Amino acid sequence: MKLLKETLEAIKPVDEEAKKKAKERMDNLTKPIGSLGILEEIAIKMAGITGKVHNKMEKRSTVVMCADNGVVEEGVSACPQWFTKILTENLTKGYTGVSVLSEFTNSDVTTVDIGVNTDIDNPKVLNKKVAYGTKNMAKGPSMTREEAIKAIEVGIEVADKLYSEGYDILGTGEMGIGNTTTSAAVLSVFSGLSPDISCGKGSGLTDEQYEEKKNTVKKAIEINKPDKNDPLDVISKVGGFDIAGMCGCFLSAAKNRKPIVIDGFISSAAALCAVRFNPLVKDYLFPSHLSKEPGAMYMMEEIDLKPMLNLEMRLGEGSGCPLAFQVIDSALYIMDNLATFEQSTLDRDKLIDIR
Ligand SMILES: Cc1cc2ncn([C@H]3O[C@H](COP(=O)(O)O)[C@@H](O)[C@H]3O)c2cc1C
Ligand SMILES: O=C(O)c1cccnc1
């Protein structure tokens, strides 16, 4: 609990003065004011985080938290549970979507076993196992409160270490069969939305299985009665080790005054938990894309953030993060390189601000 407590206490607001200076420069670049939309917002937000108008995000990694979910025994995923272990190992071999996109975008993947239900003997997988999978949340809490704290602290430790090694920006991803079910439960608890709305078909379900998935989430919430005002209670009762670990990464980013990227539905569930721990965390988060999982839109609304892309992706793994790194690079490059009105010998006063 010490690390979590210290981390939460160390989170401070972003640098508003730097944001103001960044906005002034952005509005003085040769373009109609606000015309580069979210790219402008990204560059200004980054200034608030780093305290500098000009920024470069050269060293980047997507941290993939891998864990099994006991709720899989309710038949909430079409995929067998053992897929988790194989897919976790595949992350280190370059066989997954996030691996390929990371290679393409010159970024790393950090694979963490935070709770896969079998041992993984692979030096490229960080062994941070809290337990061999969670319990079935449809029958009782996913994990103990102590395990939830431990898993969040694993996430804080992993991200703290990466930032201290010189990573400029991190992304968050996951691997764990059944984790769209836990994420839907987290969303329903915090938002009050019915599981009929928060649940999607995840990696694929028949209509009949989909109905069962909704019933399972309803049952999990009914049995456990998570307290929406206590994120630790929500994570331990209806969350997963992957969600807890990613939540820890978000908290670490805010503590270290570093940027961090949200991927899809599951990563957003973890971001929502982090924001509920401390609302200041939001200013350190960059949502990459709007997942096609239907609950993703509500997740974004709940966190109150706007994703930068909509590519109708629904893969998870952190696959949106390497793409977001490219968009962020573009935004920062604009800030550095677009000519000012003065350089362009144009008169800014002739423009009308329609934002
Ligand atoms: C081959 C394959 C690769 C994946 N990569 C990510 N996921 C995604 O699907 C899983 C969640 O979906 P559900 O809740 O329906 O089980 C997670 O592992 C997530 O990362 C995958 C799923 C599959 C099948
Ligand atoms: O958006 C996601 O993260 C997602 C959606 C479906 C399946 N797995 C992950």
Summarize pLDDT for 76-133 with one digit per residue, the tens. 999 999 999 999 999 999 999 999 999 999 999 999 999 999 999 999 999 999 999 9
317 included as an active-site residue: yes
Q: Identify the residues whose C-beta falls under 6 Å from ligand 2.
A: 180, 202-203, 263-266, 291, 293, 296, 314-316
173 Cα to the center of ligand 2, angstroms: 10
Q: Identify the residues whose C-beta falls under 6 Å from ligand 1.
A: 77, 79, 83, 87, 174-181, 202-203, 315-317
316 Cα to the center of ligand 2, angstroms: 4
Claim: this prediction has a pTM higher than 0.90: yes
Q: Which residues have CB under 8 Å from 180's CB, separation 6+?
A: 77, 199, 200, 202, 203, 265, 266, 293, 316
Task: Kindly report the backbone phi and psi dihedral angles of residue 174, in degrees, each rounded to the nearest multiple of 5, phi listed first.
Answer: -150, 160
- Residue with CA closest to ligand 2 atom 9: 316
pLDDT digits (tens, 9 = 90+) for 210-266: 999 999 999 999 999 999 999 999 999 999 999 999 999 999 999 999 999 999 999
305 Cα to the center of ligand 2, angstroms: 18
Q: pLDDT value at position 355?
A: 87
- Residue with CA closest to ligand 1 atom 4: 315
- Sheet with 169-175, side-by-side order of all strands: 125-127, 108-115, 60-67, 169-175, 260-262, 285-287
